[in-house]
Amino acid sequence: MDPKIPVRSSEWVFVSHAHSDHTARHSAVILTEPTRRLMRSRISGLRSERVLEFGQILRHWELEPSPTQTPFNLSLHPAGHVLGSAMARLEANGQSLLYTGDFKLRASKSSERCSPVHAETLIMETTYGRPRYVFPPTDQVIESVIQFCRTALSENQTPALVAYSLGKGQEILASLLEAGLPIQLHGSTAKLTEIYADFGCRFPEWTPLNPETARGHVLITPTVRPLLSAQPSIGPLRIASLSGWALDNRSWGTPSSHHRFPLSDHADFTDLMKFVEAVQPKRVFTLHGFAAEFARHLRRQGVEAYALSEDDQLELAL
């Protein structure tokens, strides 16, 4: 499941989605069709690919070579993180396991809606697994972003929205569908946006980012570096980053002059708890972010939970 180091043996790897921290140059991958397309555009080379529809059941003997003698059934379910992102549900030896990869529960304009399924053992991401991370309503965030762009343009500044090229870039672009703003997209965002469009995702009109003509446009880009060096032709920039970490006072590497909007492709703390409630697992293993803290929070709620990516602290009742 999502190994970061390339698996070059005959073993099959489940790739939950095409972000670089969940993919590598594996020899044989199990994934959804959108993830296959997105992964191909980011990682070249040949590999065996087993594409599954959401809900389709793969039986162990359908994989060649079969990875194990233990019979199992595998199915993929929408994770709602980015287009094609999937959770994997395994059944073997009369037991079930759900691995989430990255996920979010809120409805998205550019990815499938997350669909939790029951499993006895749950391995889940907990990036925002601390109670302080509760995101404001998405509509409210989008409205603020649109207002930010309109104000910048009316003051003769060029608004630049800094967002990951896969996922966040398409989410903010799709959210600007009705806003009637002129938009330019950075090349890496544009390439992936075309794949999203092939899968029916609706976007407003956009043109490729060009410093010579960028002035007066909303720029959507994963990085501001090329904009800063081209500033003489673009003119004054007004920069905003889109990230759940905007809830922190810390700026996480962005200059303090940047605006920050809390738009995230991950579940916030409330939705992490709702997700566990929906899956009804017997035990939970947590991964990424505040894994130990979230596991501790679950234990206090009476759920058996352990952190996989951080050490659990010894807890003594005094």
In the bound state with Zn ion, the residue whose beta carbon lies nearer, of 127 and 158, is 127
Question: Which residue do the tokens 């889109």 mark?
Answer: 242
- State how beta strands 95-99 and 86-92 pair: antiparallel
Smallest distance, Zn ion to C-beta of residue 102, A: 4
Distances (CA, A) of 294 to 86, 208, 218, 289: 22, 41, 38, 9
Smallest distance, Zn ion to C-beta of residue 289, A: 12
Smallest distance, Zn ion to C-beta of residue 19, A: 4
Smallest distance, Zn ion to C-beta of residue 244, A: 12
Smallest distance, Zn ion to C-beta of residue 294, A: 17
Smallest distance, Zn ion to C-beta of residue 17, A: 6
Instruction: Answer for the pair 246, 262: CB distance below 8 angstroms, yes or no.
Output: yes
Instruction: Answer for the pair 218, 147: CB distance below 8 angstroms, yes or no.
Output: no
Counting residues that bind Zn ion (by CB under 5 A) gives 2
In the bound state with Zn ion, the residue whose beta carbon lies nearer, of 39 and 234, is 39
* Start-to-end C-alpha separation, the chain: 39
In the bound state with Zn ion, the residue whose beta carbon lies nearer, of 80 and 159, is 80
Nearest residue to 106 via CA among 267, 277, 288: 267
In the bound state with Zn ion, the residue whose beta carbon lies nearer, of 14 and 206, is 14
Smallest distance, Zn ion to C-beta of residue 62, A: 27
Q: Could you give phi then psi for residue 195, rounded to 5 degrees?
A: -65, -45
Four-point Cα dihedral 80, 258, 135, 147, nearest 10 = -90
Smallest distance, Zn ion to C-beta of residue 191, A: 18
Identify residues 12-51 at the interface with Zn ion (CB under 5 A).
19
Q: How far apart are CA 284 and CA 192, in angstroms?
A: 34
Q: How far apart are CA 162 and CA 142, in angstroms?
A: 14
Nearest residue to 182 via CA among 215, 212, 211: 215
Q: Tell me the three state secondary structure of residue 87.
A: strand
In the bound state with Zn ion, the residue whose beta carbon lies nearer, of 22 and 186, is 22
Smallest distance, Zn ion to C-beta of residue 82, A: 6
In the chain, what is the greatest distance between 2 CA atoms, to the nearest angstrom? 66
Four-point Cα dihedral 172, 173, 178, 179, nearest 10 = 80
Confirm or reject binding of residue 186 to Zn ion (CB under 5 A).
no
In the bound state with Zn ion, the residue whose beta carbon lies nearer, of 227 and 267, is 267
DSSP H or E segment with residue 49: strand 48-51
Instruction: Answer for the pair 110, 143: CB distance below 8 angstroms, yes or no.
Output: no
In the bound state with Zn ion, the residue whose beta carbon lies nearer, of 171 and 183, is 171
Residue 198 token pair: 């092939």
In the bound state with Zn ion, the residue whose beta carbon lies nearer, of 125 and 293, is 125
In the bound state with Zn ion, the residue whose beta carbon lies nearer, of 1 and 92, is 1
Identify residues 88-147 at the interface with Zn ion (CB under 5 A).
102
The residues binding Zn ion (CB under 5 A) are: 19, 102
